[in-house]
Chains A and B, each alone.
Chain A
Amino acid sequence: MHDEAALQEMRTRVVLHADRVAHPSSMEFPGNFPGEDLSWNLEEFKKNFRIVVGFIGKDDMEFDMIGVDAAIANAFRRILIGEVPTMAIEKVFVLNNTSIMHDEILAQRLGLIPIKADPRLFTFRRGANDDPTDLNTLVFKLRVQCTKNPDALPSAVHPADKYINSNVLSSHLQWDPQGEQVERFANDPCRPVIDDILITKMRPGQEIDVELHCQKGIGKEHAKWSPVATASYRLLPDIQILKPITGESAKRFQKCFPPGVVAVKPNAAGQLEATIANPRKDTVSREVLRHAEFEDKVRLTRVRDHFIFSIESTGILPPQELFGEAAKILINKCNVVKAALHASGALVAPQEI
Protein backbone atom coordinates (compact mmCIF):
# COMPACT_ATOMS: atom_id res chain seq x y z
CA MET A 1 0.00 0.00 0.00
CA HIS A 2 2.80 2.34 0.90
CA ASP A 3 4.58 1.63 -2.36
CA GLU A 4 1.38 2.24 -4.27
CA ALA A 5 1.03 5.68 -2.68
CA ALA A 6 4.68 6.49 -3.37
CA LEU A 7 4.24 5.52 -7.00
CA GLN A 8 1.12 7.62 -7.33
CA GLU A 9 3.01 10.52 -5.81
CA MET A 10 5.82 10.10 -8.29
CA ARG A 11 3.42 9.99 -11.21
CA THR A 12 1.40 13.05 -10.33
CA ARG A 13 3.70 15.34 -8.37
CA VAL A 14 6.93 17.21 -8.89
CA VAL A 15 8.71 17.05 -5.53
CA LEU A 16 10.88 19.94 -4.38
CA HIS A 17 13.85 19.11 -2.21
CA ALA A 18 16.28 21.62 -0.73
CA ASP A 19 18.89 20.94 -3.38
CA ARG A 20 16.99 19.46 -6.33
CA VAL A 21 13.67 18.94 -8.00
CA ALA A 22 12.65 15.30 -8.25
CA HIS A 23 10.94 13.69 -11.26
CA PRO A 24 9.93 16.83 -13.11
CA SER A 25 8.91 15.23 -16.40
CA SER A 26 5.79 13.28 -17.15
CA MET A 27 5.95 9.50 -17.22
CA GLU A 28 2.43 8.81 -18.46
CA PHE A 29 3.50 7.04 -21.62
CA PRO A 30 2.45 3.64 -22.97
CA GLY A 31 4.66 0.83 -21.77
CA ASN A 32 5.83 2.64 -18.64
CA PHE A 33 3.42 0.91 -16.26
CA PRO A 34 2.37 -2.73 -16.68
CA GLY A 35 -1.28 -3.38 -17.38
CA GLU A 36 -2.10 0.24 -18.14
CA ASP A 37 -2.98 1.59 -21.54
CA LEU A 38 -1.69 5.14 -21.48
CA SER A 39 -1.98 5.75 -25.22
CA TRP A 40 -3.65 8.98 -26.19
CA ASN A 41 -7.31 9.00 -27.01
CA LEU A 42 -9.70 11.87 -27.39
CA GLU A 43 -12.43 10.53 -25.10
CA GLU A 44 -9.99 9.98 -22.26
CA PHE A 45 -8.55 13.44 -22.80
CA LYS A 46 -12.00 15.06 -22.80
CA LYS A 47 -12.79 13.32 -19.52
CA ASN A 48 -9.66 14.49 -17.71
CA PHE A 49 -9.19 17.92 -19.22
CA ARG A 50 -10.54 20.92 -17.34
CA ILE A 51 -10.27 24.68 -17.57
CA VAL A 52 -11.21 26.85 -14.62
CA VAL A 53 -11.32 30.59 -15.22
CA GLY A 54 -9.99 32.40 -12.15
CA PHE A 55 -10.61 35.99 -13.12
CA ILE A 56 -10.81 38.14 -16.21
CA GLY A 57 -9.77 41.75 -15.86
CA LYS A 58 -9.65 44.47 -18.46
CA ASP A 59 -6.21 43.49 -19.67
CA ASP A 60 -5.28 40.39 -17.72
CA MET A 61 -6.69 37.03 -16.88
CA GLU A 62 -5.77 33.92 -14.95
CA PHE A 63 -7.10 30.44 -15.52
CA ASP A 64 -6.21 26.88 -14.61
CA MET A 65 -5.51 24.37 -17.33
CA ILE A 66 -5.74 20.91 -15.83
CA GLY A 67 -4.85 17.62 -17.46
CA VAL A 68 -2.51 18.61 -20.28
CA ASP A 69 1.13 17.91 -20.96
CA ALA A 70 3.72 20.63 -20.33
CA ALA A 71 4.49 20.65 -24.07
CA ILE A 72 0.99 21.94 -24.84
CA ALA A 73 1.00 24.56 -22.10
CA ASN A 74 4.42 25.71 -23.23
CA ALA A 75 3.36 25.85 -26.87
CA PHE A 76 0.50 28.17 -25.89
CA ARG A 77 2.84 30.37 -23.88
CA ARG A 78 5.39 30.56 -26.67
CA ILE A 79 2.76 31.36 -29.29
CA LEU A 80 1.18 34.06 -27.12
CA ILE A 81 4.51 35.81 -26.67
CA GLY A 82 5.99 35.35 -30.10
CA GLU A 83 3.50 34.42 -32.75
CA VAL A 84 0.16 36.16 -32.30
CA PRO A 85 0.34 39.12 -34.70
CA THR A 86 -0.40 42.76 -33.87
CA MET A 87 0.07 46.12 -35.56
CA ALA A 88 3.09 48.21 -34.57
CA ILE A 89 4.94 51.21 -35.95
CA GLU A 90 7.60 49.85 -38.33
CA LYS A 91 8.60 52.84 -40.47
CA VAL A 92 9.24 56.35 -39.22
CA PHE A 93 9.72 59.04 -41.87
CA VAL A 94 11.37 61.97 -40.17
CA LEU A 95 10.48 65.28 -41.83
CA ASN A 96 11.78 67.38 -39.01
CA ASN A 97 13.19 66.59 -35.62
CA THR A 98 14.88 69.35 -33.66
CA SER A 99 14.27 67.76 -30.26
CA ILE A 100 17.25 66.49 -28.29
CA MET A 101 16.25 62.90 -28.98
CA HIS A 102 18.04 61.36 -31.96
CA ASP A 103 15.93 60.10 -34.85
CA GLU A 104 16.89 56.46 -34.23
CA ILE A 105 15.99 56.56 -30.55
CA LEU A 106 12.76 58.37 -31.31
CA ALA A 107 11.86 55.72 -33.90
CA GLN A 108 12.66 52.91 -31.47
CA ARG A 109 10.46 54.47 -28.78
CA LEU A 110 7.60 55.05 -31.19
CA GLY A 111 7.77 51.43 -32.31
CA LEU A 112 7.07 50.17 -28.82
CA ILE A 113 3.77 52.06 -28.43
CA PRO A 114 0.90 49.55 -28.54
CA ILE A 115 -1.51 50.49 -31.32
CA LYS A 116 -5.18 49.70 -30.78
CA ALA A 117 -6.11 48.26 -34.16
CA ASP A 118 -7.55 44.80 -34.70
CA PRO A 119 -4.68 42.90 -36.37
CA ARG A 120 -7.13 40.37 -37.83
CA LEU A 121 -8.39 43.07 -40.21
CA PHE A 122 -4.94 43.54 -41.74
CA THR A 123 -2.63 41.46 -43.91
CA PHE A 124 1.11 41.00 -43.62
CA ARG A 125 3.28 43.15 -45.83
CA ARG A 126 5.76 40.69 -47.29
CA GLY A 127 9.05 42.45 -48.02
CA ALA A 128 9.80 45.78 -49.67
CA ASN A 129 8.32 44.67 -53.01
CA ASP A 130 4.88 44.34 -51.47
CA ASP A 131 3.42 47.84 -51.89
CA PRO A 132 1.80 49.46 -48.88
CA THR A 133 -1.98 49.49 -49.19
CA ASP A 134 -4.86 50.32 -46.88
CA LEU A 135 -5.01 46.58 -46.06
CA ASN A 136 -1.48 46.23 -44.72
CA THR A 137 -0.46 49.67 -43.49
CA LEU A 138 -1.77 52.17 -40.98
CA VAL A 139 -0.52 55.73 -41.11
CA PHE A 140 -0.12 58.03 -38.13
CA LYS A 141 1.29 61.53 -38.03
CA LEU A 142 3.11 63.08 -35.13
CA ARG A 143 3.46 66.82 -35.47
CA VAL A 144 4.30 68.62 -32.25
CA GLN A 145 5.84 72.03 -31.63
CA CYS A 146 6.87 73.26 -28.24
CA THR A 147 6.20 76.93 -27.50
CA LYS A 148 6.26 79.25 -24.53
CA ASN A 149 2.96 79.47 -22.72
CA PRO A 150 1.85 83.12 -23.06
CA ASP A 151 -0.56 82.69 -20.15
CA ALA A 152 2.04 81.35 -17.75
CA LEU A 153 2.51 83.19 -14.50
CA PRO A 154 5.97 84.75 -14.06
CA SER A 155 6.31 82.65 -10.94
CA ALA A 156 5.67 79.37 -12.81
CA VAL A 157 8.49 76.84 -12.39
CA HIS A 158 7.00 73.63 -13.69
CA PRO A 159 7.73 73.03 -17.41
CA ALA A 160 4.14 71.90 -17.94
CA ASP A 161 3.01 75.38 -16.80
CA LYS A 162 5.71 77.40 -18.52
CA TYR A 163 5.55 75.73 -21.94
CA ILE A 164 3.00 74.23 -24.28
CA ASN A 165 3.71 70.69 -25.49
CA SER A 166 6.81 70.25 -23.36
CA ASN A 167 5.89 66.56 -23.09
CA VAL A 168 5.34 64.63 -26.31
CA LEU A 169 2.78 61.95 -25.48
CA SER A 170 1.29 59.03 -27.38
CA SER A 171 -1.98 61.01 -27.50
CA HIS A 172 -0.28 63.39 -29.94
CA LEU A 173 -0.32 60.64 -32.59
CA GLN A 174 -2.87 61.52 -35.25
CA TRP A 175 -4.39 58.70 -37.26
CA ASP A 176 -4.37 59.42 -40.99
CA PRO A 177 -6.90 56.97 -42.51
CA GLN A 178 -6.03 55.66 -45.95
CA GLY A 179 -8.40 54.38 -48.64
CA GLU A 180 -11.35 52.57 -47.12
CA GLN A 181 -10.00 52.64 -43.59
CA VAL A 182 -12.38 55.44 -42.56
CA GLU A 183 -15.39 53.21 -43.22
CA ARG A 184 -13.78 49.98 -42.01
CA PHE A 185 -12.79 51.43 -38.67
CA ALA A 186 -15.70 53.84 -38.27
CA ASN A 187 -16.78 52.21 -35.00
CA ASP A 188 -13.33 51.77 -33.57
CA PRO A 189 -10.82 54.36 -34.77
CA CYS A 190 -7.17 53.30 -34.67
CA ARG A 191 -5.28 54.91 -31.81
CA PRO A 192 -2.60 54.19 -29.22
CA VAL A 193 -3.90 51.90 -26.46
CA ILE A 194 -2.66 54.27 -23.76
CA ASP A 195 -2.76 58.03 -24.20
CA ASP A 196 -0.16 59.18 -21.71
CA ILE A 197 2.97 57.34 -22.81
CA LEU A 198 5.81 59.86 -22.68
CA ILE A 199 7.73 59.76 -25.96
CA THR A 200 10.16 62.64 -25.42
CA LYS A 201 10.42 66.07 -23.84
CA MET A 202 10.89 69.36 -25.66
CA ARG A 203 11.63 72.98 -24.97
CA PRO A 204 10.36 76.09 -26.84
CA GLY A 205 11.56 76.24 -30.44
CA GLN A 206 11.90 72.47 -30.80
CA GLU A 207 9.70 70.54 -33.15
CA ILE A 208 8.93 66.99 -34.21
CA ASP A 209 7.25 66.24 -37.53
CA VAL A 210 7.21 62.56 -38.46
CA GLU A 211 5.04 60.19 -40.45
CA LEU A 212 4.61 56.71 -39.00
CA HIS A 213 3.70 53.56 -40.91
CA CYS A 214 2.38 50.61 -38.88
CA GLN A 215 2.66 47.07 -40.17
CA LYS A 216 1.48 43.70 -39.04
CA GLY A 217 4.14 41.52 -37.48
CA ILE A 218 4.90 38.90 -34.84
CA GLY A 219 6.79 39.05 -31.56
CA LYS A 220 9.44 36.63 -32.84
CA GLU A 221 10.65 39.33 -35.19
CA HIS A 222 10.57 42.17 -32.67
CA ALA A 223 9.08 42.37 -29.18
CA LYS A 224 7.05 45.46 -30.17
CA TRP A 225 4.68 43.10 -32.00
CA SER A 226 4.11 40.90 -28.97
CA PRO A 227 0.43 41.14 -27.94
CA VAL A 228 1.22 40.35 -24.31
CA ALA A 229 3.17 42.03 -21.56
CA THR A 230 3.71 38.55 -20.15
CA ALA A 231 2.14 35.16 -20.68
CA SER A 232 3.28 32.63 -18.13
CA TYR A 233 2.27 29.52 -16.28
CA ARG A 234 3.23 27.88 -13.03
CA LEU A 235 2.31 24.54 -11.52
CA LEU A 236 -0.18 24.41 -8.66
CA PRO A 237 1.75 24.01 -5.38
CA ASP A 238 0.67 21.15 -3.12
CA ILE A 239 2.16 21.30 0.39
CA GLN A 240 1.87 18.07 2.32
CA ILE A 241 2.17 18.06 6.09
CA LEU A 242 3.44 14.61 7.00
CA LYS A 243 3.45 14.91 10.80
CA PRO A 244 1.34 17.37 12.81
CA ILE A 245 3.07 20.68 13.48
CA THR A 246 1.77 22.19 16.73
CA GLY A 247 2.31 24.93 19.29
CA GLU A 248 4.95 27.62 18.79
CA SER A 249 6.44 25.52 16.01
CA ALA A 250 3.24 25.97 14.02
CA LYS A 251 3.66 29.75 14.13
CA ARG A 252 7.23 29.49 12.91
CA PHE A 253 6.00 27.14 10.19
CA GLN A 254 3.44 29.72 9.12
CA LYS A 255 6.17 32.34 8.77
CA CYS A 256 8.03 30.19 6.25
CA PHE A 257 5.25 30.78 3.72
CA PRO A 258 3.67 33.88 2.18
CA PRO A 259 0.64 35.20 4.11
CA GLY A 260 -2.50 33.14 3.63
CA VAL A 261 -0.86 29.84 2.75
CA VAL A 262 -0.79 28.33 6.26
CA ALA A 263 -3.51 28.70 8.87
CA VAL A 264 -2.79 28.13 12.56
CA LYS A 265 -5.90 27.05 14.46
CA PRO A 266 -6.64 25.10 17.64
CA ASN A 267 -7.19 21.42 16.86
CA ALA A 268 -9.50 18.95 18.61
CA ALA A 269 -7.12 18.66 21.53
CA GLY A 270 -7.12 22.44 21.97
CA GLN A 271 -3.53 22.76 20.74
CA LEU A 272 -2.46 25.19 18.00
CA GLU A 273 -1.92 23.28 14.78
CA ALA A 274 -0.75 24.36 11.33
CA THR A 275 -2.90 23.47 8.33
CA ILE A 276 -2.61 24.39 4.68
CA ALA A 277 -5.25 27.02 3.88
CA ASN A 278 -4.44 28.11 0.34
CA PRO A 279 -1.54 26.47 -1.49
CA ARG A 280 -2.10 28.66 -4.58
CA LYS A 281 -0.59 31.61 -2.76
CA ASP A 282 2.67 29.79 -2.18
CA THR A 283 5.67 30.96 -4.18
CA VAL A 284 7.47 27.69 -3.37
CA SER A 285 10.41 29.55 -1.92
CA ARG A 286 11.53 26.37 -0.08
CA GLU A 287 12.28 28.45 3.03
CA VAL A 288 10.66 25.74 5.16
CA LEU A 289 13.27 23.20 4.03
CA ARG A 290 16.05 25.27 5.63
CA HIS A 291 14.77 24.65 9.15
CA ALA A 292 15.82 21.44 10.88
CA GLU A 293 12.68 21.35 13.04
CA PHE A 294 10.44 20.75 10.01
CA GLU A 295 12.60 18.00 8.56
CA ASP A 296 10.44 14.96 7.71
CA LYS A 297 7.34 16.93 8.65
CA VAL A 298 6.58 18.60 5.36
CA ARG A 299 6.92 17.83 1.68
CA LEU A 300 6.73 20.53 -0.97
CA THR A 301 5.27 19.33 -4.25
CA ARG A 302 3.59 20.71 -7.34
CA VAL A 303 0.85 19.05 -9.36
CA ARG A 304 2.47 18.13 -12.65
CA ASP A 305 -0.50 18.60 -14.98
CA HIS A 306 -2.18 21.56 -13.27
CA PHE A 307 -1.07 24.78 -14.95
CA ILE A 308 -2.00 28.15 -13.54
CA PHE A 309 -1.89 30.21 -16.69
CA SER A 310 -1.72 33.96 -16.63
CA ILE A 311 -2.04 36.26 -19.63
CA GLU A 312 -1.37 39.98 -19.38
CA SER A 313 -2.33 41.70 -22.60
CA THR A 314 -0.86 44.99 -23.79
CA GLY A 315 -4.45 46.06 -24.36
CA ILE A 316 -4.60 45.58 -28.13
CA LEU A 317 -6.72 42.45 -27.85
CA PRO A 318 -8.45 41.25 -24.67
CA PRO A 319 -6.60 38.30 -23.09
CA GLN A 320 -9.43 35.82 -23.63
CA GLU A 321 -9.33 36.47 -27.38
CA LEU A 322 -5.56 36.11 -27.42
CA PHE A 323 -5.83 32.54 -26.15
CA GLY A 324 -8.29 31.67 -28.91
CA GLU A 325 -5.95 33.19 -31.48
CA ALA A 326 -3.03 31.20 -30.06
CA ALA A 327 -5.06 27.98 -30.38
CA LYS A 328 -5.88 28.82 -34.00
CA ILE A 329 -2.20 29.47 -34.77
CA LEU A 330 -1.15 26.16 -33.21
CA ILE A 331 -3.79 24.27 -35.19
CA ASN A 332 -2.68 26.08 -38.31
CA LYS A 333 0.95 25.08 -37.72
CA CYS A 334 -0.12 21.44 -37.49
CA ASN A 335 -2.19 21.73 -40.64
CA VAL A 336 0.70 23.25 -42.58
CA VAL A 337 2.93 20.30 -41.63
CA LYS A 338 0.11 17.88 -42.42
CA ALA A 339 -0.37 19.40 -45.86
CA ALA A 340 3.38 19.26 -46.47
CA LEU A 341 3.41 15.56 -45.57
CA HIS A 342 0.56 15.02 -48.02
CA ALA A 343 2.40 16.96 -50.70
CA SER A 344 5.51 14.85 -50.21
CA GLY A 345 3.39 12.10 -51.78
CA ALA A 346 4.52 9.34 -49.46
CA LEU A 347 1.10 9.27 -47.81
CA VAL A 348 -0.35 6.95 -50.44
CA ALA A 349 1.72 4.03 -49.21
CA PRO A 350 0.34 3.44 -45.71
CA GLN A 351 1.41 -0.19 -45.26
CA GLU A 352 4.98 -0.35 -46.45
CA ILE A 353 6.09 -3.61 -44.92
Chain B
Amino acid sequence: MSNAPAIHEIYLLPEGVDKVTEIKDTKIPNAATFHLEKEDHTLGNVLRMELLKNPKVLFAGYKMAHPLDHSVDLKLQTTADTSPLQVLQEDINSIVKEIGQIKRKFENELTLHSMQSVEPTNGFTVDRAY
Protein backbone atom coordinates (compact mmCIF):
# COMPACT_ATOMS: atom_id res chain seq x y z
CA MET B 1 0.00 0.00 0.00
CA SER B 2 3.02 2.26 0.38
CA ASN B 3 3.02 3.49 -3.21
CA ALA B 4 -0.76 3.73 -3.57
CA PRO B 5 -1.89 7.21 -4.59
CA ALA B 6 -3.65 9.09 -1.79
CA ILE B 7 -7.34 8.47 -2.20
CA HIS B 8 -8.35 12.11 -1.77
CA GLU B 9 -6.46 12.90 -5.00
CA ILE B 10 -9.66 11.85 -6.77
CA TYR B 11 -11.62 14.89 -5.69
CA LEU B 12 -9.52 17.26 -3.59
CA LEU B 13 -7.97 20.13 -5.55
CA PRO B 14 -4.43 20.72 -4.20
CA GLU B 15 -3.60 24.21 -3.05
CA GLY B 16 -2.15 26.46 -5.71
CA VAL B 17 -3.60 24.43 -8.59
CA ASP B 18 -6.17 26.10 -10.84
CA LYS B 19 -9.47 24.34 -11.35
CA VAL B 20 -9.53 25.37 -15.00
CA THR B 21 -6.69 26.43 -17.28
CA GLU B 22 -7.19 27.62 -20.81
CA ILE B 23 -4.50 26.64 -23.28
CA LYS B 24 -4.97 28.58 -26.51
CA ASP B 25 -4.19 26.69 -29.67
CA THR B 26 -1.33 28.31 -31.54
CA LYS B 27 -2.08 26.74 -34.91
CA ILE B 28 -5.85 26.71 -35.23
CA PRO B 29 -7.80 29.99 -35.04
CA ASN B 30 -10.41 30.31 -32.30
CA ALA B 31 -9.46 27.05 -30.69
CA ALA B 32 -8.47 26.24 -27.16
CA THR B 33 -8.07 23.33 -24.76
CA PHE B 34 -9.56 23.67 -21.31
CA HIS B 35 -7.86 21.59 -18.67
CA LEU B 36 -10.37 20.82 -15.91
CA GLU B 37 -8.79 19.48 -12.72
CA LYS B 38 -10.60 16.88 -10.59
CA GLU B 39 -13.38 16.32 -13.09
CA ASP B 40 -14.31 13.21 -15.07
CA HIS B 41 -16.79 11.91 -17.64
CA THR B 42 -19.66 13.16 -15.50
CA LEU B 43 -19.00 16.78 -16.39
CA GLY B 44 -16.81 16.26 -19.47
CA ASN B 45 -19.49 14.49 -21.45
CA VAL B 46 -22.25 16.89 -20.39
CA LEU B 47 -20.11 19.86 -21.48
CA ARG B 48 -19.29 18.23 -24.79
CA MET B 49 -22.97 17.52 -25.47
CA GLU B 50 -24.04 21.05 -24.64
CA LEU B 51 -21.25 22.61 -26.71
CA LEU B 52 -22.18 20.52 -29.74
CA LYS B 53 -25.69 21.92 -29.55
CA ASN B 54 -24.31 25.43 -29.96
CA PRO B 55 -24.22 26.49 -33.65
CA LYS B 56 -21.14 28.64 -32.95
CA VAL B 57 -19.11 25.58 -32.05
CA LEU B 58 -17.14 24.01 -34.89
CA PHE B 59 -15.51 21.32 -32.79
CA ALA B 60 -15.97 20.06 -29.27
CA GLY B 61 -14.49 16.96 -27.72
CA TYR B 62 -13.13 15.80 -24.40
CA LYS B 63 -10.78 13.18 -23.09
CA MET B 64 -9.66 11.82 -19.79
CA ALA B 65 -6.03 11.36 -20.66
CA HIS B 66 -5.24 8.69 -18.06
CA PRO B 67 -7.47 6.84 -15.58
CA LEU B 68 -5.14 7.70 -12.67
CA ASP B 69 -4.95 11.33 -13.74
CA HIS B 70 -8.13 12.91 -12.45
CA SER B 71 -8.49 15.66 -15.00
CA VAL B 72 -10.33 16.26 -18.25
CA ASP B 73 -9.14 18.02 -21.41
CA LEU B 74 -11.91 19.76 -23.31
CA LYS B 75 -10.99 20.80 -26.85
CA LEU B 76 -13.08 23.48 -28.42
CA GLN B 77 -13.08 25.43 -31.66
CA THR B 78 -15.60 28.16 -32.39
CA THR B 79 -16.57 30.47 -35.22
CA ALA B 80 -14.69 33.74 -35.62
CA ASP B 81 -17.38 35.98 -34.06
CA THR B 82 -16.86 34.57 -30.59
CA SER B 83 -14.21 32.88 -28.47
CA PRO B 84 -13.98 29.41 -26.93
CA LEU B 85 -14.00 30.89 -23.44
CA GLN B 86 -17.13 32.91 -24.07
CA VAL B 87 -18.94 29.96 -25.62
CA LEU B 88 -17.97 27.72 -22.72
CA GLN B 89 -19.31 30.24 -20.23
CA GLU B 90 -22.59 30.59 -22.10
CA ASP B 91 -23.04 26.85 -22.33
CA ILE B 92 -22.26 26.22 -18.67
CA ASN B 93 -25.08 28.65 -17.92
CA SER B 94 -27.39 26.65 -20.21
CA ILE B 95 -26.46 23.40 -18.46
CA VAL B 96 -27.23 24.92 -15.06
CA LYS B 97 -30.61 26.04 -16.40
CA GLU B 98 -31.28 22.63 -17.91
CA ILE B 99 -30.40 20.69 -14.74
CA GLY B 100 -32.42 23.17 -12.69
CA GLN B 101 -35.36 22.54 -14.98
CA ILE B 102 -34.98 18.76 -14.62
CA LYS B 103 -34.87 19.11 -10.85
CA ARG B 104 -37.98 21.31 -10.71
CA LYS B 105 -39.87 19.02 -13.06
CA PHE B 106 -38.88 15.99 -10.98
CA GLU B 107 -40.08 17.65 -7.78
CA ASN B 108 -43.37 18.65 -9.41
CA GLU B 109 -43.97 15.11 -10.59
CA LEU B 110 -43.18 13.82 -7.10
CA THR B 111 -45.84 15.99 -5.50
CA LEU B 112 -48.33 14.96 -8.19
CA HIS B 113 -47.45 11.32 -7.64
CA SER B 114 -47.72 11.58 -3.85
CA MET B 115 -51.20 13.07 -4.19
CA GLN B 116 -52.33 10.18 -6.37
CA SER B 117 -51.02 7.18 -4.46
CA VAL B 118 -51.48 7.12 -0.72
CA GLU B 119 -49.22 4.33 0.45
CA PRO B 120 -45.85 3.27 -0.90
CA THR B 121 -46.31 0.15 -2.96
CA ASN B 122 -42.70 -0.96 -2.61
CA GLY B 123 -42.90 -2.25 -6.14
CA PHE B 124 -44.99 -5.33 -5.51
CA THR B 125 -48.36 -4.35 -6.90
CA VAL B 126 -46.89 -2.22 -9.66
CA ASP B 127 -46.15 -3.61 -13.09
CA ARG B 128 -42.38 -3.88 -13.07
CA ALA B 129 -40.14 -4.89 -15.90
CA TYR B 130 -38.10 -7.48 -14.03
Please give the residue numbers on chain A whose beta carbons come within 8 Å of chain B beta carbons, in ascending order. 28-31, 37-40, 42, 45-46, 49-60, 62-63, 65, 68-69, 71-72, 74-75, 78-79, 83, 126-127, 218, 220-222, 278, 280-281, 283, 308, 320, 323-324, 327-328, 330-331, 333-341, 343-344, 346-347, 349-353
Closest residue of chain B to A30 (Cβ to Cβ) is: B55
State whether the Cβ of B19 lies closer than 8 Å to any Cβ in chain A: yes
In contact, A353 and B80 (Cβ under 8 angstroms)? yes
B84-103 toward A: CB 8 Å interface, digit per residue (1/0)? 01101100111111111111
In contact, B20 and A71 (Cβ under 8 angstroms)? no
In contact, A49 and B89 (Cβ under 8 angstroms)? no
Given A45-B98, A79-B42: A51 touches B105 (CB 8 Å cut-off) = yes
Bound: A63/B109 CA distance, A: 10
Given A31-B55, A49-B102, A68-B102: A126 touches B120 (CB 8 Å cut-off) = no
In contact, A334 and B55 (Cβ under 8 angstroms)? no
Bound: A259/B20 CA distance, A: 52
State whether the Cβ of B41 lies closer than 8 Å to any Cβ in chain A: yes
List CB contacts (< 8 Å) of B46-103 with chain A: 46, 48-50, 52-55, 80-83, 85-86, 88-89, 92-103
Bound: A221/B123 CA distance, A: 31
In contact, A281 and B129 (Cβ under 8 angstroms)? yes
Q: Write the nearest CB–CB distance from B130 to chain A, whole angstroms.
A: 8
Bound: A58/B123 CA distance, A: 9
In contact, B41 and A30 (Cβ under 8 angstroms)? no
Which B residues are CB-close (under 8 A) to A278? Answer: 127
Given A42-B101, A57-B122, A344-B20: A127 touches B85 (CB 8 Å cut-off) = no
Bound: A352/B80 CA distance, A: 9
Which A residues are CB-close (under 8 A) to B48? Answer: 71
- Partner of A72 from the list B46, B92, B112, B120 (CB cut-off 8 Å) is B46
- Partner of A51 from the list B10, B109, B127 (CB cut-off 8 Å) is B109
Which B residues are CB-close (under 8 A) to A323? Answer: 106
In contact, A57 and B123 (Cβ under 8 angstroms)? yes
Q: Write the nearest CB–CB distance from A101 to chain B, whole angstroms.
A: 21
Which A residues are CB-close (under 8 A) to B120? Answer: 56-58
Given A49-B102, A126-B12: A39 touches B21 (CB 8 Å cut-off) = no
In contact, B41 and A78 (Cβ under 8 angstroms)? yes
Q: Write the nearest CB–CB distance from A107 to chain B, whole angstroms.
A: 14
Given A71-B49, A75-B43, A337-B39: A40 touches B94 (CB 8 Å cut-off) = yes
In contact, A346 and B22 (Cβ under 8 angstroms)? yes
In contact, B121 and A57 (Cβ under 8 angstroms)? yes
- Partner of A45 from the list B10, B81, B89, B101 (CB cut-off 8 Å) is B101
In contact, B109 and A221 (Cβ under 8 angstroms)? no
In contact, B129 and A53 (Cβ under 8 angstroms)? no
In contact, A335 and B96 (Cβ under 8 angstroms)? yes
In contact, B19 and A42 (Cβ under 8 angstroms)? no
- Partner of B89 from the list A69, A220, A347 (CB cut-off 8 Å) is A347
Given A38-B53, A56-B120, A63-B109: A331 touches B85 (CB 8 Å cut-off) = no
Which A residues are CB-close (under 8 A) to B113? Answer: 53, 56
Which A residues are CB-close (under 8 A) to B46? Answer: 71-72, 75, 330
Q: Write the nearest CB–CB distance from A143 to chain B, whole angstroms.
A: 30
Could you show 18 A-B contacts with beta carbons less than 8 Å apart?
A: A40-B98, A55-B128, A56-B117, A59-B122, A62-B128, A127-B8, A283-B130, A330-B42, A331-B96, A331-B99, A333-B39, A333-B42, A334-B99, A339-B19, A343-B18, A344-B18, A347-B86, A351-B83
In contact, A337 and B43 (Cβ under 8 angstroms)? yes
Bound: A171/B127 CA distance, A: 34
Given A55-B126, A220-B10, A336-B19: A39 touches B53 (CB 8 Å cut-off) = yes
